[in-house]
Amino acid sequence: STMNKDAQMRATINQKLIETGERERLKELLRAKLIECGWKDQLKAHCKDVIKEKGLEHVTVDDLVAEITPKGRALVPDSVKKELLQRIRTFLAQHASL
């Protein structure tokens, strides 16, 4: 099925990214970009709001993760997503033998 092909392809690409060290480089790039654009600070502020709202003694780590994850994804600037995608495309082009 196409679903399996897709998953296989993703696994293969992921493996390649890990083996070549590119995955770590991408993570570092992403981390730097997110700090640069203020993403980290926005999320910190959001965390504080959630804690204030619910009260520190009532907030679990799971609560925070549930609140922060969708917000975090939504707040990643398109420019950062595009840059990462571009990097991955370039990487794949260089390893076209996949």
Instruction: Give pTM, 2 decimals.
Output: 0.75
Q: Where are the domains of the chain?
A: 1-95
pLDDT for res 98:
56
CA nearest to 50, candidates 36, 38, 62: 62
CATH homologous superfamily for the domain 1-95 = ENY2/SUS1 (1.10.246.140)
- Six-digit token pair at 49? 């709001």
**How confident is the model at residue 1, as a pLDDT?**
65
pLDDT the model gives residue 96: 75
Q: Looking at this protein, which amino acid is placed at residue 44? A: K
Tokens of 44: 């910190």
Digit-coded pLDDT (tens) for 20-71: 999 999 999 999 999 999 999 999 999 999 999 999 999 999 989 999 999 9
